[in-house]
Amino acid sequence: MAGDVRAPELNSRLGWLNTDRPLLFAGELQGQVTVLDFWTYCCINCMHILPDLAYLEEKYRDEPVAFVGVHSAKFANEASCETIRAAILRYEIQHPVIIDENMKIWQSYAVRSWPTLVVVDSTGRVVGSIGGEGSRDAIDEMISQALENGRSAKTLAIGPLTVRKESSVRAASGLAFPGKILADADGRRLFIADSNHNRIVVAGWPDEKGRSEAIHVIGEGSVGRMDGTAAEATFHHPQGLALKNGTLYVADTENHLIRSIDLESLEVATVVGTGEMSNDRAGGAMGPGQGLNSPWDLAIEGSTLYVAMAGTHQIWRIDLPVGFARAFAGSGRENIVDGPTESAALAQPSGICIVGDKIYFADSEVSAVRGIDMSSEKVFTVIGEGLFSFGDVDGEHPKAKLQHPLGIDAYGTSLIIADTYNHKIKLVEPGSRSVRTLFGTGEPGASADNGEVAFFEPGGLSVAGDEIFVADTNNHRIVRLNLTTRAWDEIALKGLSDDANVLTPEVNAIQADKTSIKSDADIELLIDVRLPADSHLSDEAPWSIQVDSSNCLLAQHTGKADHFPLCVTIPASDVTASADDWLVTVSFAYCTETETALCVPVQLSWRLPISYDGVADRIHLATKIDKHAMDAGQASQNE
């Protein structure tokens, strides 16, 4: 679609995200050169062009050039405001996004593939479109030419549009979209890829109540690829982790690198990768001379590191002593085709583990669990049928269905998977080619009304004995599950700030009045916030509460609700162990009641003096947010 063709209007019953108002060619987009990005958030190729769009947005930020994402969902889970909003925040997208209901806009523009970029000139006519990756220079030229033509014809707007964007809730856990986790039972440690904080968190083994201590933070926090000490090294949205002989290996996904962390010195080094995305589908070079493409997860056997290379739809292996890296399985074609490793087709493998002489991987874009027999070097499929075959069905193959799984680990000869877009943890039996649900409701959430655990797109997991540790990505938390008792708890990380490389936050807290409570009773803590008129508590973004004292982390809880008050219970055994002052931190988002329902993140804290000679078993903390106080912490004093 190009030439003298008027761009179809941007209309959707489901509306807009990441903007405070709709944008129409018949309205504010008149006079703007507009770049439309047709994407779906599962797609690795769509992820790959986001840096190109960010570059172009910065280059033309002072010009009348507008960027608009058109989200045309592939998976059923990707079709809701709730999950798309989480993806926008996880990918840190800076432009408005319209939700393309049933791909109607896609069809009106005759789009054929994800991603596709369409350029519309200042008169509302299509200049051209390009599908796939690697088109930054061509799109740049289209924009430049459209601006030049607009100036000549005097059809350009005076300047760029200004829209108000959404931002993430700063979770009380101190984590931001954690992607993967590794439980080291022998060393009594947890390693967490705190992906959107661009760092690795090392935490102690949680106690019986799920409380853990943040021991080290590795990574300065900003996006980069600098090697060096824990305080100066930088990462770019890291994911998979593997441990061997005191060295932690990291899939530094958006840097296209494999990094190593010496756990004694905490020095970070680059093992393999140039730092630039490569389309090499063969490999054969050494260390920093070998390019990679979105390594997503890692597994290690002996001195060989296996890499789920999502970007090229392959499994790679690295000889660690010398850094020799080459493709092991997958031709690079995106599909589900079994057979010899060199000719088999994979589809965005995003989780990997080893069981005996077999490698198993979560092949996300075909919603499959697949394997490689290392003795015969052949790929086989356990569960899954094709690129557009997905669902949430337990049972045996071919009846069984998954939806975009990202995490996998061994449990004896069985497999535990994070069935990400079904918001579940499942058990897969390779021998019978069967799957059954273990935990999760099938809907985004933090916990069900009956107390059962719920998840919001869990991206990774790690099995330790009969326990599973889950990176509950969109809930910004780590959850521990017990396979024997079915008990679960949310891991409370004491001393972890959401500021990179900070273990103890400096908190600008509201000073509350001293409260006298019972020393031998469970205490119910209620948080009540009066929001600005014409707004409501978001029931899509998770809220979280953490209650801390100087010597004890008392409680951490994540939930979803559409109204205040929020509630957390502090057990009597913890109340008696606490110091005099409590620090209460609550994080949530509220939404304006407009067509776009712009959501505003808030984080509030109270410093609460406590005495234990009273009769109260309930504490009520209240405050209000002024109409124009849109940033975290801008609230009135306690009422």
| pLDDT tens profile 287-301 | 999 999 999 999 999
The pLDDT of residue 496 is 87
Model confidence band, residue 577 (pLDDT cutoffs 50, 70, 90): low
The pLDDT of residue 169 is 84
From residue 577, alpha-carbon distances to 19, 549, 552, 573 in Å are 46, 9, 7, 7
Topology of 16-153 in CATH? Glutaredoxin (3.40.30)
From residue 399, alpha-carbon distances to 383, 395, 432, 437, 454 in Å are 9, 6, 12, 14, 24
Say yes or no to pLDDT of 244 above 80: yes
Residue type, 591: C
CATH 2.120.10.30 fits 180-494, yes or no: yes
Which SS3 state, helix, strand or coil, does residue 396 take? strand
The pLDDT of residue 145 is 98
The pLDDT of residue 170 is 84
Model confidence band, residue 596 (pLDDT cutoffs 50, 70, 90): low
Topology of 510-624 in CATH? Immunoglobulin-like (2.60.40)
Say yes or no to pLDDT of 639 above 60: no
Model confidence band, residue 597 (pLDDT cutoffs 50, 70, 90): low
Q: In the chain, what are the domain boundaries?
A: 16-153, 180-494, 510-624
Q: Please give the structure tokens belonging to residue 436.
A: 């059954």
Query: How many contiguous H segments (helices) and E segments (strands) does the chain have?
Result: 6, 44
Mean pLDDT of the region 117-138: 97
Which SS3 state, helix, strand or coil, does residue 224 take? coil
User: Which tens digits make up the pLDDT trace of 366-406?
Assistant: 999 999 999 999 999 999 999 999 999 999 999 999 999 99
The pLDDT of residue 519 is 82
Q: What angle do the packed helices 50-59 and 136-153 form, to 10 degrees?
A: 30
Model confidence band, residue 48 (pLDDT cutoffs 50, 70, 90): very high
Model confidence band, residue 627 (pLDDT cutoffs 50, 70, 90): low
Mean pLDDT of the region 258-285: 98
> Apex CA 215: angle with CA 212 and CA 219, to 5°?
125
Residue type, 181: I
Mean pLDDT of the region 73-94: 96
- pTM over 0.85, yes/no: yes
Q: Which of 204, 230, 218 is nearest to 494 (CA)?
A: 204
Range scoring the smallest mean pLDDT among 81-90, 269-278, 596-605:
596-605
Block residue for tokens 């390693």: 191
| Mean of pLDDT over the chain | 93
Task: Report the C-alpha gap between 477 and 493 in whole angstroms.
Answer: 9
Task: Report the C-alpha gap between 447 and 444 in whole angstroms.
Answer: 9
The pLDDT of residue 600 is 85
The pLDDT of residue 158 is 94
Model confidence band, residue 156 (pLDDT cutoffs 50, 70, 90): very high
Model confidence band, residue 141 (pLDDT cutoffs 50, 70, 90): very high
Q: How many other CB atoms are there within 10 angstroms of residue 3's CB atom? A: 8
Q: Which of 444, 363, 360, 432 is nearest to 394 (CA)?
A: 432
The pLDDT of residue 574 is 82
Say yes or no to pLDDT of 633 above 80: no
Model confidence band, residue 631 (pLDDT cutoffs 50, 70, 90): very low
Say yes or no to pLDDT of 634 above 60: no
Q: Please give the structure tokens belonging to residue 41.
A: 């958030």
The pLDDT of residue 3 is 58
Model confidence band, residue 595 (pLDDT cutoffs 50, 70, 90): low
The pLDDT of residue 638 is 35
Say yes or no to pLDDT of 579 above 70: no
User: Which tens digits make up the pLDDT trace of 406-423?
Assistant: 999 999 999 999 999 999
Range scoring the smallest mean pLDDT among 203-207, 221-225, 472-476, 531-535:
531-535
Task: Report the C-alpha gap between 370 and 375 in whole angstroms.
Answer: 16
Show Cβ contacts of residue 378 under 8 Å, excluding neighbours closer than 6 positions: 338, 339, 340, 341, 344, 372
Q: Which of 272, 277, 257, 274 is nearest to 304 (CA)?
A: 272
The pLDDT of residue 497 is 75
Q: Which residues of 193-231 are buried (b: 16+ CB within 10 A; e: fewer)?
A: bbbbbbbbbbbbebeeebbbbbebbbbbbeeebeeeebe
